[in-house]
Structure 1
Amino acid sequence: MNKPLNLFILAGEASGDKLGGALMQGLNTLYDGDITYRGVGGDQMIANGLPTLFDMSDLSVMGLVEILPKIPKLLSRVKTTARAAIAQKPDAIITIDSPDFCFRVVAKVKETYPDIPVIHYVAPSVWAWRPERAQKMARYVDHVLALLPFEPPYMIDAGMTCDFVGHPAAFDPPLDAAALGAMKQQLGLEGPVITLLPGSRAGEIKRMMPIFRQVAKNISAKHPDTNFLLPVARPVVKQVQRAVANWALPVKLLLPQADASATEARKNAAYAISDVALATSGTVALELAAQNCPMVVAYRANWATTRMVKKLAQIDTANLVNIVTQSRVIPEFLFEKCTAAQLTPAIMALLDDKAALGAQENALQDTMKALGRGDPDMKLAAARSVLNKLGK
């Protein structure tokens, strides 16, 4: 048996928590010895052995305007987290996405332990915008776990080592017909099913829910038998419940359960039984692709973020399925195009147009294959990469 391994691991939002939970599960499987975890995470990381320092939702802020009033609290959390890491003196720090928070913590820890190994999970999308981020990241990070197969050269050129490790969504097999039938029966669903995914951050819910409500209202007027499902992230449960209280539409909220794996399984089942999803732009696209769920993608931001992204973006799509397949098969309605008037016909087209639906389904399957589906070694690739980097 190996000597105990001491890891400090950080995630700042729901997508990072999913990655962190899968990584920890892989480490627990591969490492022949005890592992002690400390840091910050959500339900899935907690379920795999992380005693989180504080509620991860404290860090879920996105957008230039939204972050300003949160700066004092965020800086306080940086100090708290860095002090905990210094006290623990871990064998390595693993940071998952959320670079603004994570790298501030790492910078403070390195003042005390300058040689501590730092592994970052999720390469920044330098191929899309702000390519200088790779060089800045190399000041703090030794090794990168990349989700996309074309990302390692960008990280290596900046002076870090990097492995392509795929995405956990690709390792979730599509649910069988019996499981899907049971889910539909449990929820009492007859007719078309549309899943609404407004986001996991408070700012996203505030901006996207009014638009999603109008889309649902428009579709219900044309197809009264349509069912709407809305899986709710734990940090925004109360906010979503307040928002839908006056919808007067047949929307079923799928609230988080005590068991993180049960919550994840039910969410995946919701995707699998859906005819189409309306999703706020983000890595949820890969989770939908994993369950072969066609999608329309939307995103609305404040004026400052909108202006910055438009100025700096180097590609014309934000959707990971489009990026991986080098296509534009997933409809996107970003910024000023994110209106109910434009989203409604895009969703109706997927419900009614078999050719458009078939093109999406092919792209979803190609994306999953590119991210590791069907390769038995990929499920543990992230954990194996971490242990190899640490010489374990």
Structure 2
Amino acid sequence: MSLRVFILAGEPSGDRLGGALMAGLKQLEPGIQFDGIGDALMAEQGLVSRFPMEELSVMGLAEVLPKYRHLKRRIRETADAVLETRPDVLITIDSPDFSLRVARLVKAHSSIRTVHYVAPSVWAWRPKRAEKMAEVIDHVLALLPFEPPYMEAAGMDCDFVGHPVVAERQATEAEIDAFRSDFGLGDAPYVLALPGSRRSEVSRLAPEFGQALMQFSVKHPDYRIVVPAAAPVAGLVQEALLDWPKGTVMIDPNRYKPDRAKSFKRAAFASASLALAASGTVSLELAAARTPMVIAYKFQWLTWQIMKRMALIDTVTLVNLVSDSRVVPECLGPDCTPANIAGRLAALAVNAGDQLEAMELTMQRLGQGVDEPGLRAARAVLGRLPGN
């Protein structure tokens, strides 16, 4: 009898993880059957989503309140579907506000095995989340190599399966040449500026980034500035660039077909001399492209005060954490000033050797050079099922 998997994702990043995991499961277990919720990449692997994944994308955000009743109904519907179909395993992917509520309802009425893909960052803050999660989750698939002990200590099985960044395609020389030619960059060195993908981030960071790059450009006039904007905030970024150094190049993905926009972004990351980026997983994308970086982030005052008191780590940059170094400079909170950022960029322009070594080590530790994360995740799921 073929293996039956109920799998659900609630946002685009989860759909990517789910699609790769499903591909791995199909490779290892021909005839496997899928049910659940996902988007285009999971559909490519054969999933017929029970309802559009977009309905769940507001979970955890301010927009949740007006849709609370609808989302609560979807949680119940999903849990009922799992209980009715009795799959061999329920796999939930990230989106804990939705995923763990479904898992809790399922566990309350069955012994169906539950697997959650992406460990909560209990190593950074709120460590009690692992214990709460262990009430409803049997097995965790972790993206970072230092996460399994935290999950195991709370009573769950856990496997490090690699980070998806190691499987992302990198730019070819032809793509880089085409990008530089299309945007008139020639052979000029440039700073890649990444002020965030949310409107709130861009509003807070773009002015600071612009002033910092103005100061940097005074002493480094040969450097250009390139900004690959995120599609939802491209208009806001365009407005902000009025106060940035003249000649700044913006890549607006909304102007191109998806494949070409992705090609430009890959090339922009790979060909940059330096990067100035908002805090987040973008640091791993830069590490994959071997682009030295400065990380900066400006928080609201209250958020910063809470973070200072609750944080369990002394760096927010994953490259620093995974490589067990502190070579990526950070300008956070009150230190996120134009003068500080410009100074860090200037120092990096002189010497980036330590960062390059740390980025190489980071990619190795995240699973580069071995089986892709989706296949490793599939192997971990199957290997922990009862009877295997």
TM-score range, shorter chain: 0.7 to 0.9
- Check conservation: 2:274, 2:293, Cα contact below 8 A: yes
Q: Output aligned runs, 1:1-392, within 5 Å.
A: 3=2, 5-12=4-11, 15-33=13-31, 35-40=33-38, 51=49, 53-55=52-54, 58-59=57-58, 67=61, 69-73=62-66, 75-76=68-69, 78-86=71-79, 88-89=81-82, 91=87, 92-110=89-107, 113-172=109-168, 174-190=170-186, 191-244=188-241, 249-255=247-253, 264-351=262-349, 353-354=350-351, 357-376=352-371, 380-390=375-385
- Check conservation: 1:229, 1:254, Cα contact below 8 A: no
- Check conservation: 2:6, 2:34, Cα contact below 8 A: yes
Distance change >3 Å, CA 262–CA 313, structure 1 → 2: same
Which runs of no fewer than 5 residues in structure 1 stay unpaired? 62-66
Please state whether the residue corresponding to 2:119 is helix, strand or coil: coil
Write the distance in 2 (CA, Å) between the matches of 1:180 and 1:164: 33
The one-letter amino acid paired with 1:8 is I
TM-score (norm 1): 0.83
Please state whether the residue corresponding to 1:94 is helix, strand or coil: strand
- Check conservation: 1:333, 1:343, Cα contact below 8 A: yes
Deviation at 1:160?
0.7
- Check conservation: 1:79, 1:105, Cα contact below 8 A: no
The one-letter amino acid paired with 1:103 is L
TM-score (norm 2): 0.84
Distance change >3 Å, CA 78–CA 327, structure 1 → 2: same
The one-letter amino acid paired with 1:39 is I
Write the distance in 1 (CA, Å) between the matches of 2:334 and 2:321: 22
Distance change >3 Å, CA 95–CA 157, structure 1 → 2: same
Cα deviation code 1:100-125 (max 9, x no counterpart): 343234334555x5434332222222
Q: How many residues align?
A: 379
- Check conservation: 1:149, 1:371, Cα contact below 8 A: yes
Cα deviation code 1:31-80 (max 9, x no counterpart): 41254353255x6556656656243794376xxxxx5x434146346325
**For the aligned residues, what is the CA RMSD?**
3.2
- Check conservation: 1:281, 1:318, Cα contact below 8 A: yes
Deviation at 1:330?
0.4
Please state whether the residue corresponding to 1:59 is helix, strand or coil: coil
Please state whether the residue corresponding to 1:55 is helix, strand or coil: helix
- Check conservation: 2:319, 2:358, Cα contact below 8 A: yes
Which runs of no fewer than 5 residues in structure 2 stay unpaired? none
Deviation at 1:215?
2.7
The one-letter amino acid paired with 1:164 is F
- Check conservation: 1:5, 1:33, Cα contact below 8 A: no
Write the distance in 2 (CA, Å) between the matches of 1:118 and 1:257: 42
Distance change >3 Å, CA 189–CA 249, structure 1 → 2: closer
Deviation at 1:350?
1.8
Write the distance in 2 (CA, Å) between the matches of 1:283 and 1:76: 32
- Check conservation: 1:53, 1:81, Cα contact below 8 A: no
Give the number of the structure whose alpha-carbon radius of gyration is greater.
2
Deviation at 1:315?
1.7
